[in-house]
Amino acid sequence: MKIFGVDPGSAHTGYGCIDASAGRHRILACGALSPPGRSAFPEKLRIIHDGLTALLDEHRPEAVAIEDLFYARNARSALKLGHVRGVVMLAAAEAGLQVFEYAPAEVKRAVVGYGRAEKQQVQQMVSLLLGLDPPPSRLDVTDALAVAVCHAHSMRPDTSGEQPVETRGAPRSWRRYRPPDTAGRRSEP
């Protein structure tokens, strides 16, 4: 399954495309869309949209994973980030792709195993998981790859072996696991 991860930002929008097959992850592309700093904000949004549209057309992923908005220094920053996220979602929708959103702590937990990991720890684990030497120098690129890996980890193969099935909401610890009942639903703890 090809997964396209995005770490939205108005100055730098990181992206990474991975192939997650048979429990292994392989990087297909990564980088950052960086509009000129002097550009007007609407022009930056257009550049990001056009760049993502071209990348999605080139790589043809099956899903787009994006980091969810959780914190901004101020309302203006949050609003700008929201606009960029909207442009990312629009590009994915135009390509006919489903968008999956993950909180930063969820991404860190999936990649590092600890929801409050530092960015350098995420960078190291992404490098190990994808066999990157050296790791990407830009942290927005690493974050985009981490979101894609998080989505890959949140999927499990379907019993028919055709398509992965999303496991969000499934128990995150073996202590909370309950075997499925006869109807295939998980029993409540």
Give the 3-state secondary structure of the chain. CEEEEEECCCCCEEEEEEEEECCEEEEEEEEEECCCCCCCHHHHHHHHHHHHHHHHHHHCCCEEEEECCCCCCCHHHHHHHHHHHHHHHHHHHHCCCCEEEECHHHHHHHHCCCCCCCHHHHHHHHHHHHCCCCCCCCHHHHHHHHHHHHHHHCEEECCCCCCEEECCCCCCCHHHCCCECCCCCECCC
Residue 118: active-site member: no
Determine, yes or no, domain membership for 186.
no
Residue 158: active-site member: no
Can you give the residue range of the structural domain that contains 33?
A: 2-176
Active-site residue, selected from the candidate residues 118, 140, 143, 162:
140
pLDDT tens digits for 83-122? 999 999 999 999 999 999 999 999 999 999 999 999 999 9
Higher pLDDT among residues 55 and 177, named by residue: 55
Euclidean distance between CA atoms 2 and 88, whole angstroms:
17
CATH code, domain with 149 = 3.30.420.10
Determine, yes or no, domain membership for 183.
no
Most confident of 54-63, 118-127, 173-182: 54-63
Please tell me the predicted confidence (pLDDT) of residue 160.
Answer: 43
Residue 168 has pLDDT above 80, yes or no: no
pLDDT tens digits for 113-164? 999 999 999 999 999 999 998 999 899 999 999 999 999 998 865 544 444 4
Residue 65 has pLDDT above 60, yes or no: yes
Contact indicator for 118, 166 with CB cutoff of 8 Å: no
Determine, yes or no, domain membership for 159.
yes
Euclidean distance between CA atoms 57 and 53, whole angstroms:
6
Determine, yes or no, domain membership for 185.
no
Determine, yes or no, domain membership for 181.
no
Determine, yes or no, domain membership for 22.
yes
Please tell me the predicted confidence (pLDDT) of residue 172.
Answer: 45
* Number of separate domains in the chain: 1
Active-site residue, selected from the candidate residues 67, 143, 166, 181:
67
69-86: average pLDDT = 84
Please tell me the predicted confidence (pLDDT) of residue 173.
Answer: 41
Determine, yes or no, domain membership for 48.
yes
Euclidean distance between CA atoms 104 and 38, whole angstroms:
29
Active-site residue, selected from the candidate residues 7, 43, 58, 181:
7
Residue 143: active-site member: no
Question: Mean pLDDT of all residues in the chain?
Answer: 85
